[in-house]
Copies of this chain bind each other. A is one copy, B any other.
Amino acid sequence: MAKVNDNYLKLPGSYLFSTVAKKAAAYTEANPDKEVIKMSIGDVTKPLAPAVIEAMHKAVDEMGTAEGFHGYGPEQGYDFLRNKIVEKDYAARGIDVKADEIFVSDGAKSDCGNIGDIFSVDNKVAVCDPVYPVYVDTNAMAGRAGDFTDGKWNNLVYMPCKEENGFMPQLPEEKVDIIYLCFPNNPIGVAATREQLKPWVEYAKKNDAVILYDSAYEAFITDPDVPHSIYEIEGAKEVAIEFRSFSKTAGFTGTRCAYTVVPHELKVDGVELNGLWNRRQCTKFNGVPYVIQRAAEAVYTDEGYKQTREAVAYYLENAKIIRESLTEAGFTVYGGVNAPYIWAKTPNGMKSWDFFDKLLEETGVVTTPGSGFGPSGEGYVRFTAFSTKENTIKAMEKIKAIL
């Protein structure tokens, strides 16, 4: 008799963002005349950059000719893209990353989830709390998280990020094997400086642990003390895998391209993880569409860079509007300087979902309840800066009006 993966049955019912979407849909149905402004899911709204559009048209034309047609490409990505990543994202910052350490993929979500394939079930995993749910759920599915009781998985190590520690996780007291870090952080929107990252690399070296470093929001960094890559920290290539994405950098959420860096120096019990990940990708993945890789390549042209950075600046301006407006309205807020997320403390100690409901009912603004990201997110809601500027201003005015 076939048997399912029982770990799936332990997952709590519904995914955070679908619950949020359902509540928003129910509100719209009950209030068809009222406007809804979504500041919940981290999805971009600005169109793709003209340079990207141009590159895609050119690649589509190639695919329609016998000479320009591309069939199966390398599972790891085309050299034209891997070389550009090496040059522009790493060499330009003085970081030595090789092209064969870059694995182009369809998304950081896929990679953050699939990376678990190359690790034993028998690893102790540490996650920040609150946290991007994919890290937790994929480990739960793989059987690394244990059982879910009282809002926590009993085999995960949670690293609380709260007001009292400046929302920075502390080094785990017990020994852990795999550590997920995300800076600039989702959902809190804070970023770690070089000095703040150093102890993590030291911890990983000392304990033979691996850091899974999600750097999907690096394009939003404005502070020179905040590293764009964990490899800016000495020794990090021996202990860390880095995830990057074009989703937020270049508005590729519906275009799908990302990459993961697995340095050759990174060995676990003498085994190069680069080889294992390469084997995983060659066996279970067939590369990113040719036209999409050409689109990603265009992000690195002078024009493409300028255009995509303008979009990032636009979202950062929204973040500033949210931060300042909420502060003015009496909220305590965090993040939003090096990230498109603003972490707002609910007024009078309200529960996250209660405040989410209040905002939705009274203003039509959709946020994400902090508690959905983990127990330590209780008492907060997350705003995203990805709306239009007009809607962002409108949402802030509505919120000010009810307080």
Contact = CB atoms under 8 A, between A and B. Distances in A.
Interface of A: 1-6, 8-9, 11, 15, 18, 41, 43-48, 50, 53, 56-57, 60-61, 63-66, 68-73, 106-107, 109-110, 113-114, 117-120, 122-123, 134, 137-138, 141, 177-178, 207-210, 251, 253-256, 268-269, 271, 273, 276, 279-280, 282-292
Contact of A2 (B64, B177, B291): B177
B43 A138 contact: no
A253 B72 contact: yes
A18 to B, nearest CB: 8
B66 A60 contact: no
* The 9 nearest A-B residue pairs measured at CB: A113-B284, A3-B120, A1-B208, A53-B64, A70-B254, A43-B71, A2-B177, A71-B253, A47-B69
A53 to B, nearest CB: 4
Nearest to A49: B64
A254 B63 contact: yes
Contacts of A271: 4, 9
A209 B119 CA distance: 29
A65 B45 contact: no
B72 A269 contact: no
B256 A287 contact: yes
Contacts of A70: 254
A269 B1 contact: yes
Nearest to A68: B47
B255 A290 contact: yes
B5 A119 contact: yes
A106 B60 CA distance: 18
Contacts of A64: 47-48, 50, 53
Contacts of A119: 2-5
B289 A254 contact: yes
Contacts of A113: 283-285
Given A56-B291, A141-B283, 4 more contacts: A46-B69, A53-B64, A113-B283, A255-B291
Contact of A255 (B9, B63, B208): B63
5 contacts: A4-B268, A46-B69, A60-B60, A254-B287, A289-B289
Total copies of the chain: 2
Contact of A53 (B60, B141, B255): B60
Most chain B CB neighbours (cut-off 10 Å) among A2, A53, A106, A283:
A2
Residue of A47, A122, A137 ringed by the most chain B CB atoms within 10 A: A47
B2 A123 contact: yes
Contacts of A178: 2
A176 B319 CA distance: 56
B72 A254 contact: yes
Nearest to A70: B254
Contacts of A279: 8, 11, 141
Contact of A47 (B66, B117, B177, B276): B66
A263 to B, nearest CB: 15
Q: Which of A9, A63, A69, A254 has the most chain B CB atoms closer than 10 A to its own CB?
A: A254
B109 A284 contact: yes
A245 to B, nearest CB: 10
Contacts of A4: 118-120, 268-269, 271, 273, 276
A20 to B, nearest CB: 13
Contacts of A57: 57, 60
